[in-house]
Structure 1
Amino acid sequence: MLRVLIVEDEEIIRRGLLCTIDWAGMGCIVVGDAPDGRTGLELLRTEHPDVVLTDIRMPRMDGIEMAECARAEGILPKLVFLTSYAEFGYAKKAVRLQAADYLLKPVDEAELSALMQRLIAAGTGGRMGITEGIDWRRYFEDETLNPYVRHAMERIQHDYREKLSIELLAEEAGVSASYLSRKFKEAAGQTFLEMLTRERLQNAIAQLSSGKYRVYEVAEENGFGDYKNFCTVFKKYMKCSPRTFLQQTRGTAPQQGEE
Structure 2
Amino acid sequence: MLKVLVVDDEMLLRKGIVLEIDWPSIGCMLVAEAANGIEGIEATHKYQPDLIITDIRMPKMDGIEMVKQLREEGNEVSVIFLTAYSDFSYAQSAIKLYVADYLLKPFEDGELETAVLRVRRRWEEKQKKKMDIDKDPCFMLKKGDKSKYVMEAIEYISKHYSDEHLCIATVADSLGVSEGHLSHIFKKETDYTIMSYITQYRMHVAMKLLSDCRYKVYEVTEMVGYHDCTYFSSTFKKVVGVTPSEYQDRSAIR
**Aligned equivalent of 1:47:** 47
Q: How many angstroms does 1:77 deviate by? A: 0.2
Q: Which residue identity does 2:34 align to in structure 1?
A: A
With normalisation by structure 1, the TM-score equals 0.56
Q: Is the 8 A contact 1:220 1:227 kept in 2?
A: no
Q: How many angstroms does 1:68 deviate by? A: 1.2
For residue 53 of structure 2, give the secondary structure of its aligned residue in structure 1. Answer: strand
Q: How many angstroms does 1:196 deviate by? A: 3.6
The structure, 1 or 2, with the larger RCO (C-alpha pairs under 8 Å, 6+ apart) is: 2
| Unpaired stretches in structure 1, ≥5 consecutive residues | 131-163, 171-176, 178-190, 204-218, 250-259
Q: What aligned pairs does 1:146-225 form with structure 2 within 5 A after superposition? A: 165-168=161-164, 196-201=206-211, 223=233, 225=235
Q: How many angstroms does 1:114 deviate by? A: 1.5
**Bigger mean CA deviation after superposition, 31-40 or 64-73:** 64-73
Given the alignment of the two structures, is residue 107 of structure 1 paired with residue 107 of structure 2, yes or no? yes
Q: Is the 8 A contact 1:54 1:82 kept in 2?
A: yes
Q: Which residue identity does 1:165 align to in structure 2?
A: Y
**Aligned equivalent of 2:116:** 116
Q: Is the 8 A contact 2:236 2:243 kept in 1?
A: no
| Unpaired stretches in structure 2, ≥5 consecutive residues | 131-159, 167-173, 175-200, 214-228
Distance in 2 (CA, whole Å) between partners of 1:31 and 1:220 is 42
Closer, same or farther: CA 58–232 of 1 in aligned 2, 3 Å: closer
Q: How many angstroms does 1:194 deviate by? A: 6.4
Closer, same or farther: CA 229–196 of 1 in aligned 2, 3 Å: closer
Distance in 2 (CA, whole Å) between partners of 1:63 and 1:169 is 46
**Aligned equivalent of 2:19:** 19
Q: How many angstroms does 1:12 deviate by? A: 1.0
Q: Which residue among 198, 203, 228 is the counterpart of 2:238?
A: 228
Identity of aligned residues (%): 33
Closer, same or farther: CA 128–75 of 1 in aligned 2, 3 Å: farther
With normalisation by structure 2, the TM-score equals 0.57
Q: CA RMSD in A?
A: 3.9
Given the alignment of the two structures, is residue 4 of structure 1 paired with residue 4 of structure 2, yes or no? yes
Q: Which residue identity does 1:200 align to in structure 2?
A: L
**Aligned equivalent of 1:142:** none
Cα deviation digits, residues 169-194 of structure 1 (max 9, x gap): 99xxxxxx9xxxxxxxxxxxxx9976
Closer, same or farther: CA 91–127 of 1 in aligned 2, 3 Å: farther
Larger Rg: 2
Q: Is the 8 A contact 1:82 1:105 kept in 2?
A: yes
Closer, same or farther: CA 76–201 of 1 in aligned 2, 3 Å: closer
